[in-house]
Amino acid sequence: MADNTDWGTALFTIHTETDGTRNIEVSGRDRWALEALISLGKKGCTPIDTPGPRWSGYVFNLRQLGVPIETITEAHCGPFAGTHARYVLRASVARCEGADA
């Protein structure tokens, strides 16, 4: 997650079959998480392959903004075997280029 990107506020367009199209403003780590979800598409993100300190918190905040995100529970092996979440966007979401809020 450490990079030199400015995670200030940016405008995103969400389109779903049921709710149509609308815009939201997202900033900070929530923006980072949304951009990760967009870039990974149908594969989705897990805290294992896309480390971030509070994925569940970012997803909660994005859902509060109306971003449809599915949580898929997956098993993992190893010395700390258990389950983890995979988060997948369930809408078409794009950043409005040149439209930082």
pLDDT digits (tens, 9 = 90+) for 19-61: 899 999 999 999 999 999 999 999 999 998 999 889 999 999 9
Is 38 a member of any domain? Answer: yes
Is 5 a member of any domain? Answer: no
Q: Which among 98, 93, 101 has a CA at the least distance from the CA of 22? A: 93
Is 100 a member of any domain? Answer: no
Is 4 a member of any domain? Answer: no
Whether the CA torsion 75, 81, 85, 86 is positive or negative: it is negative
Is 101 a member of any domain? Answer: no
Which pTM was predicted?
A: 0.87
Is 2 a member of any domain? Answer: no
To the nearest whole percent, how much of the chain has pLDDT over 90? 79
Q: Which residue range(s) make up the domain with 27?
A: 10-95
Count of domains in the chain? 1
> Coil, strand or helix: which one is 44?
coil
